[in-house]
Amino acid sequence: MKTYLVTGGAGFIGSNFIHYMFRKYGDTIRVINLDVLTYAGNLENLKEVEGRDNYTFVKADITDREAVSRVFAENDIDLVVHFAAESHVDRSIRNPEVFVRTNVLGTAVMLNCARAAWEKEDGTYPEGKKFLHVSTDEVYGSLEEDGTFFYETTPYAPHSPYSASKASSDLLVKSYIDTYKFPANITNCSNNYGPYQFPEKLIPLIINNALQGKKLPVYGDGKNVRDWLYVDDHAKGIDMVLKKGRPGETYNIGGHNEKQNIEIVNIILETLQEMLPAGDPRRSYVSKDLITYVEDRKGHDRRYAIAPDKIRTEIGWEPETMFADGIRKTIAWFFEHEEWMKHVTSGAYQKYYDEMYTDRS
């Protein structure tokens, strides 16, 4: 029975990954979820699994060396899936330091503790041990609107404090691979969407605002392009890289689904109109009239687009969910989880929203 140490498992992608793994492997795996529960971590995301004998939650900070070492000492960890991070670009522009602390120092602590637990006297590692560092396409910088793509060989050129901190963490992982022959893979994925995504990110923010008849803030000219991937497809990619990824390799994961932000907003509005039942009062105001162009994000990357050729040819991964289906599933999930949205948007979220959007011309 393999034991997975998942960091940041109470966040958006981490919780979807844990659900995916239990759906796929049931009682044949063990999962330890280590998460400090920042504003983005939510144990409500994991209610359905918390009673399982093969699931354990540990509340700890990845920068806390003692706490992380203890988890390794008390458990025979086979696979680390390292999601824990500060993940929102706009927050990184306001407050960069916590991004360096969590994303860089936290990754250094995770690497140190895993190496200390796994490395044998002769400098090799037992069969089956692997550290998978979950990273982002943002490390590659910004593309022109010219049909080019990010490959694993594209030089790093991060622009935001968030992407710079993720790039630094990737380089630390690469240094462990080169220096200690550390058994790791890095995955660089494009924009995810799906259930449990915190409404600071574009898609859940637009769904939530539209359903309340609030303005839909579109940065700049709305023509920045992102490459959207349904979160389960990302989870599947991670599982496949854990199994089949060659030691030390990086794999880009992306959906071949480039869309301008304004297209995304329009698709959400059209899909909401289709899905809201006849007679629902929200049908009267869910419309393009809510769209409001606001001041652009500082240093806003123009376009991201992943070439997932390597993961397809080497590992056999391909995205399964068409955007039209994924967005319907996502909206259906938000319809069924109004209480979840109420909980995550109470209190601190209102303050965040006011700071970020009020007076944004």
Interacting residue with ligand NAD among 4, 83, 118, 230 (CB under 6 A): 83
Residues 324/255, Cβ–Cβ less than 8 Å: no
Is 35 a residue that touches ligand NAD (CB under 6 A)?
Answer: yes
Q: How far is the CB of 361 from ligand NAD (least distance, A)?
A: 27
Burial class of residue 340 in the structure, from the number of CB atoms within 10 Å of its CB (0-12 exposed, 13-18 middle, 19+ buried): middle
Q: Which one of ligand NAD, ligand DAU, none is in contact with 183 (Cβ closer than 5 to 8 A by kind)? A: none
Is 224 a residue that touches ligand DAU (CB under 6 A)?
Answer: yes
Is 166 a residue that touches ligand NAD (CB under 6 A)?
Answer: yes
Is 167 a residue that touches ligand NAD (CB under 6 A)?
Answer: no
Q: Please work out, in degrees rounded to the nearest 5, the angle formed at the alpha carbon of residue 333 by the alpha carbons of 330 and 334.
A: 90
CA neighbours within 13 Å on the CB side: how many for 232?
A: 16
Binding mask 234-263 for ligand NAD (x = CB under 6 A): ------------------------------
Taking the least distance from each CB to ligand DAU, the nearer of 163 and 271 is 163
DSSP codes, 163-212: HHHHHHHHHHHHHHHHHH---EEEEEE--EESTT--TTSHHHHHHHHHHT
The contacts of residue 44 (CB under 8 Å, 6+ apart) are 340, 343
Site size toward ligand DAU, by CB under 6 A: 19
Interacting residue with ligand DAU among 39, 57, 180, 219 (CB under 6 A): 219
Is 154 a residue that touches ligand NAD (CB under 6 A)?
Answer: no
Is 234 a residue that touches ligand DAU (CB under 6 A)?
Answer: no
Interacting residue with ligand DAU among 5, 18, 49, 205 (CB under 6 A): 205
Interacting residue with ligand DAU among 297, 310, 312, 328 (CB under 6 A): 297
For 31, phi then psi, to 5°, come to -125, 125
Sign of the Cα pseudo-torsion (64, 117, 235, 27, in order): negative
- State the distance between the two ends of the chain, measured CA to CA, in whole angstroms: 55
- Residues within window 258-297 making contact with ligand NAD, judged by CB under 6 A: none
Helices (H) and strands (E) in the chain, counts: 13, 13
Residues that bind ligand NAD (CB under 6 A): 7-8, 10-14, 35-38, 40-41, 61-63, 83-87, 102, 106, 134, 136, 166, 189, 191-192, 198
